[in-house]
């Protein structure tokens, strides 16, 4: 699995967010088509807790968001920031998030929607 920086010192220095090989491959394709990318995960009603992928900077983050990780993806020049709403972070702060890809249509706002797949979060307690 590909991961970002050293992670939160409170979880033993491990990455807070990881990518499955399938997610990393999809990010390489999306990066080639759309340029630098970012993720944001909210607790919104429309897509629940699905991570949304956008061109970097297209989703405005602010004081109500937490930057969990800058994901290093082999074959992608720059790290992919992974943001989460602060309210979601309160609930998920003791988990490691694993970004995966599954068949099916996700949100019309997330870049992978036309691919017939969607990003999905799996979690592991830390």
Per-residue pLDDT of the chain (126 residues; tens, 9 = 90+): 334 433 443 444 567 899 999 999 999 999 999 999 999 997 765 545 689 999 999 999 999 999 999 999 999 999 999 999 998 888 888 899 999 999 987 666 899 988 899 999 998 888
Residue 4 confidence (pLDDT): 41
Residue 91 confidence (pLDDT): 85
Using CA atoms, how far apart are residues 53 and 62, in angstroms rounded to an integer? Answer: 17
Read off the pTM.
0.84
Residue 117 confidence (pLDDT): 93
Using CA atoms, how far apart are residues 77 and 44, in angstroms rounded to an integer? Answer: 30
Q: What's the gap between Cα 94 and its chain centre? A: 16
If you compute the radius of gyration of the chain from its CA atoms, what whole number of angstroms results? 13
Using CA atoms, how far apart are residues 83 and 52, in angstroms rounded to an integer? Answer: 10
First and final C-alpha spacing in the chain: 17
């Amino acid at each position: 699995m590909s991961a970002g920086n050293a992670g939160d010192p409170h979880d033993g220095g491990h990455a807070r967010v990881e990518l499955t090989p399938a997610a990393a491959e999809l990010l390489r394709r999306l990066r080639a088509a759309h340029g630098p990318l970012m993720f944001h995960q909210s607790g919104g009603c429309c897509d629940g807790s699905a991570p949304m992928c956008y061109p970097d900077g297209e989703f405005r983050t602010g004081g109500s968001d937490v930057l969990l990780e800058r994901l290093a993806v082999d074959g992608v020049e720059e790290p992919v920031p992974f943001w989460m709403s602060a309210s979601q972070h309160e609930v998920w702060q003791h988990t490691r998030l694993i970004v995966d890809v599954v068949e099916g249509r996700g949100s019309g706002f997330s870049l992978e929607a036309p691919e017939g797949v969607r990003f999905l979060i799996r979690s592991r307690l830390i």
